[in-house]
Structure formats: structure tokens, C-alpha cells
Structure 1
């Protein structure tokens, strides 16, 4: 949803994405994912804060940035394997996408230029949530296997990581981090499949340049 719940973006299994202006009732169907042969089911969508730009990712690895005013395609890129998460930064300058193999990429928008790839230290990791903080050159991601991670945007370097809580009575004890957020410059928030909302403190200090 956009700011103040003014508009909504929905992705469908038939490869279409629907934009809905909740104030006027205007609807727009975006068919851009159907232009490439393959399984183009929509796996992930994100909407800019002002509701003017949409980012959508599909099962065949396509990531498309487009306008909600007229469905005009602005940029696109492709990743191997199906896309699991897409995210725009609040200022509308950067976009993040990741696939089922745990490969995450940061792109400039609207050009779509690749800026960095996440230096993921683990195999079998799948990103399911993300939040960008371009003003502080960092990004937060939530993954399978309880992982909550802080990254440097321009280099893809892993800065700090945590493991979210679990229900101790469940075996094996694990959790998926469904959503993440920056509370302020020093604190984070996560929501997981264990039914827990947790607050975390950033202890990593930014590198100082001489």
C-alpha cells in the first residue's frame, strides 16, 4: 500500500498486476510480465510512498518498474530463479530484488543499473522481506532460518546479523522473518512466523573515512 492507504497493489498468478486507487476507485491492470514466455506468476510487489511507481517480480525472474498512471514500463532486469521479494526505498532512488537462491541485488532507479550484490555468507538462504535506508547507506532483510540482517547498500557487505526468537516447544525450532523495519537510526523491528514482534539494537558503527 502507498502512504495513508491511498492506493493498493496486487499481484496475480496469471502474470498481471493490479493497481487500485482507493480514493477514486480507479483500477489499472499491468500486463508487462506476460510479454516474456515462461511462468510469469507474480511473487512480489511493492508500491512507492506516493503511489506513482510500482515494482513487481515474477516466478520467471523478471523484475519490472512501471508507472501506475499509465502502466508505462520504466526499467527492468532479470535474475535467475523466481523472485521472492522486491522493495523500493522511500525516496524512490533504489530498488532491491532477491530470488529463491538467496541472491540479492540493489539497482538504481529509474535506470535499473546494478549497483551491488549482497555478499551472502550462507547457502540455502531465502529473503522474504526487506527495508532500504538510502540516507544511511544500509538495508535490512528478513529471511528463512530466523535470519535478520543489516547490509551496506553500495557494497553489499553484511554489517550485522541476528536470529529472531522461536517457540521453545516447537521442534525443529525455526522461523521466517516476514517483515522488518527501521524504528530509528539505532533500532530495528521484526515480525516472524513464530508470532513474535521483536526490537533489536544496531551495535555496528559506520566506517569513518579519513
Structure 2
């Protein structure tokens, strides 16, 4: 009887080890690696087509990189004379026309074609938590620590304040045409809402604070994730749940999200250096790996700020290490 129990226990341990090994990142190195910030970055955003990235760092200010040629396209400045003025969030329009950058109290709109500044704004009643920009820089979205999300129409200066949230905003996004927005907050709720009327389209409840939201640029899906163990993919046309991301960890927190162009996969980055590709239909993790940390940092760590599909076989990441990395996807 004892031998039988030991055999069963051994089988259970082997099964548990198999589960643990299945969720560990694969040991792979980037195909290419380019340094974009000498002593690390404070924020970064890669365009949806992986052609450009905007990177914020203390030594270089704001840098716009041509990722196809690894060439510095523009260097911008946003009052970066002290730590309080560092750009901490950024976004690039889906058609690569404009970029928006923001520190805690100011945000700027930049023209990617000619490098010109097209506007600088300050807020005084709270601090900026996240930003988004539409195609052609027509609309800006600013999530704030006081729970407000402000939608700005550049042509006429119209400002619509979405007041649905009760606590500070953690993440915002909007469709390329600027008409639909999504926002997530410490109040455990993510809202999808109409930017012309401010009316709620969908309300997605979570068991803890919502830390990440994203919209598929083609208008097919929404993604919402909280600080504990709920990360969901929703049908943006019906509001129905498509899948929940399946992971064995006690929790996974996401710092970057992008849907694949064909809508079959979701790409995520995390504060733990982890990058994963998920199946949209099932929520299963297809593969994962970790970006490389800076060599001079101990313990070795890096936050994945942005991720993008270059094509069906390659992924690009930007992280706090100050490096952009190109990865070959093993299928």
C-alpha cells in the first residue's frame, strides 16, 4: 500500500512539474537588439505596424526611432529638466501620422512626418495617467488621477469629460477614428464609451482594479485586465466575452498589449520582462519569452513598455532596459 501511495505521489509531482515547465518562458535570445536609451527608458510606445517607436529617457529626452532602419528620426523635448517632468506615457496614431507624449502634468502632440510640435497643454486639477491619439492627430484622450477621462477634438478645441469612473484611471485607448474609447480604473471597472456623447456602450466589471485596457484597431476586440487574475478578451461589436487568458500563476500583470493584424492572436508584455502570445479564441498561451535586462542592473529586471507584431513571424519589443528587441516567433 505504501509503494502504491508513493507511486501516486510521484505521478502527481511529475504532473505538477510538467504544468510549471509548460508555463515557463522559452529560453530564446532576440534576433536583433538596438539600444535606444543609454541608461534605460522611462516610457516607450511602438506603432501598430512596428515601423516607429517613441522612447523617453533622462539623457535623450523624447526620441522617435525608425525601427525599419534603426535610425533616430527626431529628438523632442518636453521640459525635461527634472524628474517630475519626465515623459511617462506615450502613444502613436494607428496611421503613424502623430505621436502624443505626456509627463505628470503636461502633454504634447507631435507630427511624425515633419517632426513639428502641434500643441502643448497642461492640466492643474490632477495628474496624467495615460494617453491616446487618433489618426491624423484629430483627437486626443487623456486619463487622469481624479477619475476623469478627457476627449479633445483638436479642430475646434471641444473637450468632453467622461465621468463614469469613481477612482483614478490606469489605462485608456481609442479606435483610430477617435469615436470609441475604453478606460480602466481603480474602481474595478472598464468602460467602453462613445466619445461624441459620453454614453457608456459596455461596462466590464473586474474583481480588482483594472490595470490595462486596449482596443483592436480594426474594431473587433477589447482587452481588459485587472491586478489579480482576470484578463479578458471581449467582442467589441456585441460586448460578449470571447475568452479569458489562462495562466497558472497566482497573478499576471500586463504593461503592454496588441492584437495581431488577422485578429487570431494577442501579444502582451509584463513588468517581469515577460512577453507572451495568446490565442484570442481560447485564451491559451501559445509561447512566451523574456526580454533582456540591462547588464549593469542587479537584480536583473525590465518592464516591457510596448509590443508589436512586425509580421506573422516576428515581434518587436521596447522595454525599460532602453533596448528595442526583435524576436523570431517559433510556431
Q: State whether residues 276 and 285 of structure 2, in contact with CA within 8 Å, keep that contact through their aligned partners in structure 1.
A: yes
Structure 2 CA distance for aligned equivalents of residues 7 and 26 of structure 1? 10
Q: Secondary structure at the match of 2:262?
A: helix
Show the counterpart of 2:272. Answer: 145
- 2:324 counterpart residue number: 197
Superposed CA deviations along residues 53-95 of structure 1, whole A, max 9, x for unmatched, are: 0000000210100011111111111111111110000111210
CA distance in structure 2 between the aligned counterparts of 1:153 and 1:193, rounded to whole angstroms: 27
Deviation at 1:28, TM superposition (A): 0.6
Return the offset for 1:24: 2.8
Instruction: State the match for 1:83 in structure 2.
Output: 210
In structure 2, do the counterparts of structure 1 residues 128 and 101 end up closer, same or farther at CA, with 3 Å as the change threshold?
same
Q: CA deviation at 1:123?
A: 3.2
The correspondence for 1:19, drawn from 140, 151, 176, is: 151
Consecutive unaligned residues of structure 2, counting only runs of 5 or more, are 1-132
Q: Give 3-state SS (helix, strand or coil) of 1:54's partner.
A: strand
- For residue 116 of structure 1, the aligned residue among 243, 263, 270 is 243
TM-score (norm 2): 0.58
Partner of 1:207: none
Per the TM alignment, residue 5 of structure 1 is displaced from its structure 2 partner at its CA by 2.3
Q: CA deviation at 1:12?
A: 1.2
Structure 1: unaligned runs, 5 residues or longer: 35-39, 205-210
Match for residue 2 of structure 1?
A: 134
Between the aligned partners of 1:108 and 1:12, the Cα distance in structure 2 is: 26
TM-score for both structures, normalised by structure 1: 0.90
Moved over 4 A (4+): none
The higher relative CO (CA closer than 8 Å, separation ≥ 6) is in 2
Kept in 2: contact 1:102–1:127 (CA 8 A)? no
Relative to structure 1, the CA distance from residue 129 to residue 20 in structure 2 (aligned partners, 3 Å threshold; closer, same or farther) is same
Q: 1:50 aligns with which of 148, 166, 177?
A: 177
Native 8 Å contact 2:165 2:187 kept in 1: no
Which structure is larger by alpha-carbon Rg, 1 or 2? 2
Per the alignment, in what secondary structure is the counterpart of residue 4 of structure 1?
A: helix
2:253 to 117, 123, 126: 126
Deviation at 1:134, TM superposition (A): 6.0
Contact 1:85 1:98 in 2 (8 A): yes
1:150-201 CA distance string (max 9 Å, x none): 0000100101111101111111001111111111221111111111111111
